[in-house]
Amino acid sequence: MKKRVLALLLASIMLLSLGLTGCSNSATSDSAAETTEPATETNEPVAEPAQEPVEISFWHGYTPEKTEVLDEMIVEYEAANPNVKIEARFVASGEEMLQKVQAALLSGEEPDMLWGYPTWTGVLASSGKLLNLGDAMDPEWKADLPEGILNAGEFEGTIYSVPIEAGTLYLIYNKDMFAEAGIENPPTTWDELYEDAKMLTKGEQYGVWLPIEPNERTSWTWETFLWQNKGELLNADGTNIGFNTPEGLEALEFYTSLVKDGYSPTAIGQDPFVDQQAAMIYGTQGAAKAYITKYEMNVGVAMLPGKETQATALGSNHYFMFKSDDAVEKATLGFMKWMTTGDNHAEWAIRTGYLPVSESARTSERYQTYGEENPYMTEAAKALTFGQARPPIEEYPKLSNAISSTIEKIVYGEMTAEEGMAKIQKEADSIFK
């Protein structure tokens, strides 16, 4: 009996002990939860899931040599910005690229970023998918780009593209021919240009070469004369030509007179300057580089001769951006700015042979050193200050053809300059209707 009572007593004590132990463990767990949760937040933060890089699709039309430079710079950019991945690829060159982009816009497969010509701006803007870069760019970036180059990408008051490369026309002359003719300095005015061209013309050698074929090169060159005489290509609201004026007619007469009077050739070889058929040529920095480095010619360069003002024709290639989500747009803007400013852009310009579009690139130590070794590039860069761009309107290609085809007819005596201007006006009325 005593043994049974003792057993019951021991069992009761064990149950009581287990109950107390259970309460004790529960209290300990609650206490641990209260003290370790804050510790996890402050001392052992939970790692965020790895984010995929923002991908940018980029279409361009660069040659293999330039593509190699681009790819190297993209690798550098991605290393500094691991959150961005740029898929750059060659798609087409020239107008074929525009056709491919238009097809992509219709199917909704357009790239995030596009390299192309500012004359495409009106066509691309009509899609409604171009981003307004004028609003997206920061003020510092805008101020770094010459107004003339930036405005090349403007359409109906909105800037839709950013320049990445520039080229401009300036005077390239044969120093040996100048010395032989007793001319010490290149011409700075129309009158001097005419007199020097006359002095330099002898036998099969002409004083200056001006293009007269019915193509864009002819129109582009003639437009410099129009702007130098304070003429305007379009009227104030861009609805027709603005050069059916005394200033425009004088530019047309002077340009064609150099050819009609026999100081500029009508029949030429592949390159009249290399073939020494012309002592002066209106050319780009790329042409000057070839004459100096490839053909080892004794060449000088200078600003184009002016009249009422100083002006030259500006050519540029631009970046466009199509609308996307915020992350892609932000990443694309960052890459565009990196490529068009400072030392990065100076490197791009030097390695590709283009002129730098931004002041920060032109004044960088990298480009200043390069300019000292290649003064013909520095002179061309100065000309950008006086550069004027062709209007980025849909009608421009047809207008350009009307101008160049008329110039050809005038120099061959098929019509006078006055009749030529009337012809251009009639065609313009049809183009802008």
Tokens encoding 19: 């109950």
pLDDT per residue over 111-124, tens digit each? 999 999 998 998 89
Distances, alpha carbon 430 to alpha carbons 255, 312, 391, 398, in Å: 25, 28, 18, 10
Residue carrying structure tokens 């107390």: 20
| pLDDT category of residue 149 using cuts at 50, 70 and 90 | confident
pLDDT at residue number 50:
55
Q: What is the pLDDT of residue 14?
A: 38
Domains annotated on the chain, with CATH: 54-166+315-389 (3.40.190.10), 170-314+391-431 (3.40.190.10)
Quote the pLDDT of residue 124.
Answer: 94
Rounded-to-integer distance, Cα 145 and Cα 141, Å: 7
Task: Give the tens place of pLDDT for each residue, 384-416.
Answer: 878 898 888 889 989 999 999 999 999 999 999
pLDDT given at position 321: 98
Q: What is this structure's pTM?
A: 0.79
From the number of C-beta atoms within 10 Å of its C-beta (0-12, 13-18, 19+), residue 3 rates as exposed
Kindly state the average pLDDT of the residues 308-315. 94
Residue 177 and residue 300: Cα distance in Å, rounded? 11
Lowest-confidence pick of 66-75, 341-350, 380-389: 380-389
Average confidence (pLDDT) over 68-92? 98
Report the Cα–Cα distance between both ends of the chain, in Å, rounded.
Answer: 124
pLDDT in tens, 229-248: 999 999 999 999 999 999 99
12 versus 403: the higher-pLDDT residue is 403
For residue 157, pLDDT beyond 80: yes
User: Among residues of the chain, what percentage have pLDDT more than 90?
Assistant: 78
Residues forming beta bridges with residue 89, ordered by sequence position: 59
Tell me what percent of the residues of the chain surpass a pLDDT of 70: 88
Give the separation between CA 12 and CA 139, rounded to whole angstroms. Answer: 85
Mean pLDDT (the chain, rounded)? 88
Report whether pLDDT(183) > 90. Answer: yes
Give the three-class secondary structure for 395.
Answer: coil
Task: Summarize the confidence of residues 311-338 as an average pLDDT.
Answer: 96
